[in-house]
Amino acid sequence: MWRFIGNQLKRWRTKANVSREELAAASNYSPDTIKAMEQGVRMPTARVLDVADELCGAEGMLSAAKDYLSREKFPPRAQEFMEREREAISLWWFEVTHIPGLLQTKEYARALIENHVPVLDEETVEERIAARLERQSVLAKRKPPVAFSFVVYEAALRTPLVNSEQLQHLLKTSCLPNVALQVLPFERVVASALMGPIVLLVNRDHERFAYTEGQLGSHLSADPAVVSRATERLSMIRAEALSPDESTRFIERMVDQP
């Protein structure tokens, strides 16, 4: 919806020969913010829509979009993945530098989201924290039950953001009957593990998806060739990782360290 409304905003502005700078000045926003709204990266605000409606002579067509506008819980690049996550009956997740989102405490999630670049406004920060914690309800989903397998590289556990509370939370979550948690220690790392996180998802129709994420983008694919490569890499990583019992003892030792 953000993208659609932003696209309509741009179309009306261009048709009326109103520059982005003119709309920005009239609505008290920067041109870059108007650009982000038109591209669907930021939610168009009621003020921008009303001002644009008047400047562009849209006769209420743009202002009417306010009734259909709601804030998205997740950034645009992750929205389709979140839909697949909710539908999954099986999920394998390998993470290199962060604790997987489904296993994060509120404090850890806040530290990551507040340090987002570019900086997010306070309202967006709070919404994304709440949305991340809300996602974790899938761990207790029973109809249908979801099988989770997490592998976390040791580097993700050693960052200053990970405190005793986060480690204890990992131990508690790993006790769930449908959750397997493994640690990939430094000395067992394989080259493919350093290439970035991988998530594999299977839904109730047995459709399989592979998701990868980098600093500047993410990719969700149902291409059998892509899914096969991701499965092979994840299987290799899981084979090198400590067993769930060994991983539990590994994290317990970290908790006990001064």
pLDDT score recorded for residue 75: 64
Q: What is the mean pLDDT of the chain?
A: 91
pLDDT score recorded for residue 40: 82
More reliable by pLDDT, 217 or 235 = 235
Torsion angle in degrees (nearest 10) through CA of 117, 27, 130, 220: -60
pLDDT score recorded for residue 179: 97
Query: Bridge partners of 202?
Result: 90, 208
* Segment 123-143, tens digit of pLDDT: 888 989 998 999 999 998 877
Whether 45 contacts 36, CB under 8 Å: no
* Segment 73-129, tens digit of pLDDT: 666 667 778 888 988 999 999 999 999 999 999 999 999 999 988 888 888 889 899
Q: List own/partner pairs for 124-130 with CB under 8 A and 24 or more apart.
A: 124/71, 127/71, 127/73, 128/73, 128/74, 128/75, 130/73
Residues 6+ apart with CB under 8 A from 56: 12, 13, 15, 16, 18, 62
Give the helix/strand (H/E) hosting 6. helix 2-15
Burial 160-179 (b: 16+ CB within 10 A, else e): ebbeeebbebbeebbeeeeb
